Structure 1
Amino acid sequence: MKDRILRIMEHEGISPSKFAEEIGIQRSAMSHIISGRNNPSLDVLTKIMQRFTYVDTDWLLFGKGSMVKNGITKIEEPNLFRENEINPPIVQVEPEYRKHTEFSKPEITTKNTGIEQIKYEERSSKNVSKIMIFYSDNTFETFTPEKNKKE
């Protein structure tokens, strides 16, 4: 049955993903049918027969007779886009310009802030005697200034 479905796709000139889209099933389901992993369900077969009305039901289901029903050839459905693909209309598009909106300029006000006096503080009489650094691995280092170091 997968060979007959492939023959319909070949007759239509469409890919498996486009065929799945045409009949309204997921592409993965179509891929499973083509690979032979799954057989087409009744729902899939019904959708094929509804979409491709020229296909003979006996041929699709049992492989008997010809693919096309008696005297019916492929029905070409009107496609609005196909004609435009061949002869695309030439349309000149005028660029849209943004309308300018005038905004009032905000008033700039300045605060008269007084100049702060920098206060100079003399150093305290305290001196650094030791600096300890603790690490995450529970080790530490101790640093002492040279002038306070006892020898």
Structure 2
Amino acid sequence: MLDSNSFILRLKSILTHYELSSSAFADLIEVQRSSISHLLNGRNKPSLEFIMKINDAFAEVDIQWLLYGIGSFPKLNEKEPTKTYNKSKQTTLPPSEKNIDRIVIFYSDGTFKTYLEK
């Protein structure tokens, strides 16, 4: 269920991030200015149409973050699609004299994870 108070805080974060007044925001997503005022004051809850207008207008707003606070804002770069392969065409590589010591994965947020050979 949508927590209205948390939603209002996330909506205000969007306004602050884009340096928009509530009137400019309403004009941008093509809703009545009073709609924004009623939402920000906790009088009304957002409609699905309102949520979708935000989603369409702002690529950096993750809908899961907007609704439930899951994820981040602005959203991180989309991951590249996972590469798939046909298992029937999988080949076996000849044994190598070298062994893998560790694998390091770097994430776009600057963090990393190291996997060590056991």
**TM bracket, shorter-chain basis:** 0.5 to 0.7
**Partner deviation per Cα, 1:1-50 (whole Å, 9 max, x = no partner):** 11111100000001000000000000001100000000111110000000
By percentage of residues, which structure has more helix?
2
Structure 2 match to 1:65: 71
**Partner deviation per Cα, 1:30-76 (whole Å, 9 max, x = no partner):** 1000000001111100000000011111100110111122237xxxx
Structure 2 match to 1:127: none
**Partner deviation per Cα, 1:82-137 (whole Å, 9 max, x = no partner):** xxxxxxxxxxxxxxxxxxxxxxxxxxxxxxxxxxxxxxxxxxxxxxxxxxxxxxxx
Structure 2 match to 1:41: 47
Structure 1 match to 2:95: none
Report sequence identity in percent: 43
Amino acid at match of 1:19: F
Amino acid at match of 1:45: I
Amino acid at match of 2:56: Q
Structure 2 match to 1:26: 32
Structure 1 match to 2:91: none
After TM superposition, the score normalised by the length of structure 1 is 0.46
Which residue of the other structure, out of 12, 15, 19, is the alignment partner of 1:9? 15
After TM superposition, the score normalised by the length of structure 2 is 0.58
- Between the two structures, name the one with larger relative contact order (CA 8 Å, sep ≥ 6): 2
Amino acid at match of 2:39: I
Aligned length: 72
Structure 1 match to 2:102: none
C-alpha RMSD over aligned residues = 1.1
- Find the residue that maps to 1:46 and give its secondary structure: helix
Structure 1's unaligned 5+ residue stretches are 73-151
Q: Segments of 4+ in structure 1 off by > 6 A?
A: none
Amino acid at match of 1:17: S
Structure 2 match to 1:118: none
